[in-house]
Chains A and B, each alone.
Chain A
Amino acid sequence: MQLISKFSRSGLMLLLILLIMLPFLISSSYLTHIVTLILLWSFVATAWAYMARFGMVSLGHGVFLGIGAYFPTLMFNYWGVTPWIGIFVGLVVAIVIAAILGYTCFRFGLLGDYFALVTLAVAEVSALVIMALREITGGSLGYTLRSTGRLADMQFADKRVFYFMALILLIGAMYIWRRIDKSPVRLALTAIEESEIAAASLGVSVIRYKMMITLLSAALTALGGSLYAQYVTYVSPDTIAGVGVSLSVCFKAILGGMFAVLGPFVGSAIIVSLEEYVRISLGTSFLGLSQIIFGVSLLLMIIFMPRGIMGSMSMAVAKRLNRISARH
């Protein structure tokens, strides 16, 4: 086991160094753009997996993405409030909504697929609210961020700033993941997943721990939504709120493996690259094709590799190591 962790730690370092140097090594701004998107979605998917890996599979994270994306954007366009503050407002709103939602769900003991369904409905509500308020939000046509190019408005001449912001956020999210792993929260929540009653009888405040993770996950997701909106300077219910994006975040994490810290990153890297590759090589008229490939590979994944790529890999490695140690 120690061998694995040592191995993966050095692998992680290498990856990190590579990611830091990447924008300076490659001159193509297009490639930097793709990697920025990968980092952004990895960050969101990692935050999503905070909850999912303890059995709280949310299909409604689009709500938090949407809040994070729309609040600073609208506040900036209408009132000229700098996104530096707007993001903070979005964050607070997301936390409040998550608190209300999470508390009612956990209070009523909503688990598993019931929890998933309710969160899915909430995601749909978020998209519908954006549509209903189309006078303000632009409805399904979306909404473009006013451009000023000023640093105070979080707009940078060099888009690589976003790259590094996303990278820092991702590293932070992974660091928090590790901290959760080492904290008693993890033990308690694993116990929750195994048996709610057992955990309760251990004196663990089930709801409190669940709430902590939920609020953290929602806050980081909203932050990811904000950064995404500032980066692409365009928001719409299809791309950053509602059911579609909720599912796509969850699929990225599942594909990579939602029980491994690197899983969401691996999943996001594969899916974003795949989407881009198909889009470029087949042209926009076949936009749907990449999604079909994506959907089919997800299906295969869920059927044949339910623990995701990283999960299956670490299981294979563990098996091999077991065999080696058994031989000695």
Chain B
Amino acid sequence: MVEQIIMALLNGILLGGVLALLAFGLNLIFGVVKIIHMAYGQFVMLGFYFIYFFYTAWHIPLLLSMAMGIVAMGLIGILVQLVIINPLLKAPRLNQLLALASLIIVVENLAQVIWGADYRGIPLTMPIIQFGEIFIRSSFLIAFIGAILTLGLLYLFLNRTYLGLGIRAVAQDLEMAKGVGINPNVIYYLTQATGGALTGLVAAFFIPIYTVHPHFGASFTLMAFVIVVFGGMGNLLGGFASAFIIGIATSVTAVLSSKEIADILALVLFIGMMMIRPQGLFGTES
């Protein structure tokens, strides 16, 4: 039992890294474009299918398929901005929310029509690493390391480049950002492309871990939401920390009881947080 809990703890940390990546994307989009991307987890599902499709239908080598999946999702991010968000930029927030919720219906059913309801995956055998009684799947480890590296690169991008600076400026004060000479449209597209590409990347990390089906994304949307709200919406660092907290909490709870109870726990935390501390665990007032 102790080993199981330790393993759950480890898995929680490892998956927490990937979740941090997802939360980062959601947070970035929320912070910059000021929209709550209801279909964000569904994009992971779409990315998964893209990679699967490139690999199985076009027989493109796996790593290249993954790269193409990431690019495709980046493009889809841009498309979302162009077709859905731009027309709704001045609409009430709720309309943006509902538009993205309808996108869930479109995306999930698109997957259903194209690939059917069956579980699909790319069978890969990845070694298992063993420390005494504790087993770690190398696929988890790769995903974790990849996610942390990506987050590091994103951090550098945001802090060391003009475009990154533009993103941070638009997130803080749109009008003034325009006033200092930033074209917000470029920043919006860039943000959506980054957010989209991140879902593709997360999908790539998930390839050796999961199989995909049309409703695969819903739980990741949920997870990302919980993390983002927990860390404070728009707060990138808070999101990073809370990804691990939530990752560990749900993974351990799942071992102790069941997957549903773990999800319920996460959601109850989410609801409580929204009510009592909408600025998040690490946020400051206002």
Contacts and interface: CB of A to CB of B under 8 A. Distances in A.
Interface of A: 57, 59, 104-105, 108, 110, 112-114, 116-118, 121-122, 124-125, 128-129, 131-132, 243, 247, 250-251, 254, 286-289, 291-292, 294-296, 298-299, 302-304, 306
B279 to A, nearest CB: 12
Nearest to A304: B87
A199 to B, nearest CB: 19
Contacts of B103: 295, 299
A295 B100 CA distance: 10
A57 B270 contact: no
Given A302-B88, A302-B98, 10 more contacts: A104-B275, A108-B276, A121-B274, A128-B260, A132-B260, A288-B111, A288-B112, A288-B214, A302-B99, A302-B102
B82 to A, nearest CB: 12
Size bracket, chain B contacts? 35 or more
20 contacts: A57-B94, A108-B275, A113-B36, A116-B97, A118-B274, A121-B271, A122-B271, A132-B260, A132-B261, A243-B218, A288-B109, A291-B105, A291-B106, A292-B110, A295-B102, A295-B103, A295-B105, A298-B98, A299-B84, A303-B84
Nearest to A250: B98
Contacts, number: 115
Contacts of A304: 87
B64 interface: no
Contacts of B84: 299, 303
A53 B110 CA distance: 31
A250 B258 CA distance: 31
Contacts of B110: 288, 292
B76 to A, nearest CB: 15
Given A118-B275, A124-B222, A128-B267, A286 B91 contact: no
Contacts of A247: 101, 104-105
A303 B105 CA distance: 16
A291 B109 CA distance: 6
A300 to B, nearest CB: 9
Contacts of B92: 112, 306
B268 interface: yes
Contacts of B229: 117
B50 interface: no
A287 B112 CA distance: 9
Nearest to A129: B264
Q: Could you tell me the dominant secondary structure of chain B's interface residues?
A: helix
Contacts of A254: 98
Contacts of B264: 125, 128-129, 132
Nearest to A131: B260
Contacts of A288: 108-113, 214
Contacts of A243: 218
Closest 5 CB pairs of A and B: A295-B105, A295-B106, A288-B112, A288-B109, A132-B260
Of the listed residues B95, B110, B260, B263, the one surrounded by the most CB atoms of chain A closer than 10 A to its CB is B260
Contact of B102 (A57, A116, A299): A299
B113 A286 contact: yes
